[in-house]
Amino acid sequence: MEIINGKKTYNILSLGAGVQSSTLAMMYEKGFLGKKPDCAIFADVGAEPKKVHEYLAWLTNQISYPVYIVKKGNIFSDFMEEKYRNGYVPFPIFTKDKNGKIGMGKRQCTSNYKIVPVYEKIREIIGLKTGERAKNILVNQIIGISYDEMERMTINQKKWITNVYPLYEMKITRRKCLEWFRENIGDNLPPRSACTFCPYHSNEEWKRMKEDDPESFAQAVTVDEFLRSPDRKRTMLNISEEEFLHRSGVPLKDVDFRSDIDKGQQVFGFLQECSGMCGL
């Protein structure tokens, strides 16, 4: 923390342990970006692949500023144990009606499992009590959105928090992040950070997971099968649409994961994830 223009100013890195935020973390540590953040915050949603947590542990040992891990529930167990009733799903899913038309549900997982606990931790760090307003305080929330994903950048709705995007400002793409990491850190490259059953996965990502991370793929299949199970349907009241994790409206275990371009389909991915806090 430092005083700038009469305000207590904090620099806090949103750390996802993926490519972009890990690159930022190490750029700060190695002096490529000037003054180090006061701390970093990782939001554990309870559904990241094992390798993300392993990488987070490695990364934490590489950097000299504090890394806080926050958690507000477990999105996998919360859903599987039917914490949510009346058809509510805490993450976006694809739906298929009786005519075969595909739609997509709302996404609230990023807010509930990432943004809210991160903000609660920020308030704790800067010493704000419940209900207390931030006066003469500015928080620069450093977010790892790269230049090629600028569509995900947003203005923070909280007046005392400013979203900062160093990778965008330096015109660094995700590929350039990986190149920088190889050149300056080594071959222990960051993994892709996303929930195992995130429906924004492209076919390429589903295919990679199925082949290289069968444990994570099995968890995604478990969620997908539960969406259409008798236990799930009992919570859905009069909802008649079928639910799927894959945009094709086909059970995940049966999907043909040939590339989107080969099949002439629209490419989904994190550019459709509007709040800019996942996949970093």
> What is the Cα–Cα distance from 250 to 12, expressed in whole angstroms?
41
Looking at the DSSP assignment, which residues form a beta bridge with residue 12? 39, 141
pLDDT on residue 25: 97
**Averaged pLDDT score across all residues of the chain:** 89
- The two tokens of residue 163 are 């979203």
User: What's the pLDDT band for 267 if we cut at 50, 70, 90?
Assistant: very low
In one letter, which amino acid is 252? L
Tell me which H or E stretch contains 161. Answer: strand 161-164
pLDDT on residue 86: 59
Strands 102-104 and 39-43: unpaired
Got the DSSP string for 130-141?
Answer: TT----SEEEEE
> What is the Cα–Cα distance from 113 to 152, expressed in whole angstroms?
18
Q: How far is CA 194 from CA 19, 29, 247, in A?
A: 11, 24, 17
pLDDT on residue 240: 75
| Helix residue spans in the chain (DSSP H) | 19-29, 50-62, 75-80, 109-110, 116-126, 166-169, 174-184, 203-212, 214-227, 230-233, 260-263
43-57: average pLDDT = 94
Cα atoms in the 13 Å half-sphere on the side-chain side of 196: 28
Is pLDDT of 131 > 80? yes
What homologous superfamily is domain 2-272 in, according to CATH? HUPs (3.40.50.620)
Is pLDDT of 237 > 80? no
Is pLDDT of 130 > 90? no
> What is the Cα–Cα distance from 185 to 30, expressed in whole angstroms?
9
User: What's the pLDDT band for 258 if we cut at 50, 70, 90?
Assistant: confident
Is pLDDT of 201 > 50? yes
User: What's the pLDDT band for 264 if we cut at 50, 70, 90?
Assistant: low
Is pLDDT of 26 > 50? yes
Closest CA to 244 of 97, 116, 113, 129: 97
Closest CA to 194 of 28, 72, 64, 21: 21
* More confidently predicted of 230 and 126: 126
Lowest mean pLDDT among 6-15, 62-71, 163-172, 271-280: 271-280
Q: How many CB atoms lie within 10 A of CB 160?
A: 17
Lowest mean pLDDT among 88-97, 144-153, 187-196: 88-97
Q: How far is CA 221 from CA 51, 184, 216, 225, 244, in A?
A: 19, 38, 9, 6, 10
Q: What are the domain boundaries of the chain?
A: 2-272
Lowest mean pLDDT among 106-120, 149-163, 211-225: 106-120
User: What's the pLDDT band for 52 if we cut at 50, 70, 90?
Assistant: very high
Among the ranges 65-74, 88-97, 235-244, which has the highest mean pLDDT value?
A: 65-74
Q: How many CB atoms lie within 10 A of CB 38?
A: 18
Residues for the chain: how many in total?
Answer: 280
How large a percentage of the chain has pLDDT more than 70? 88
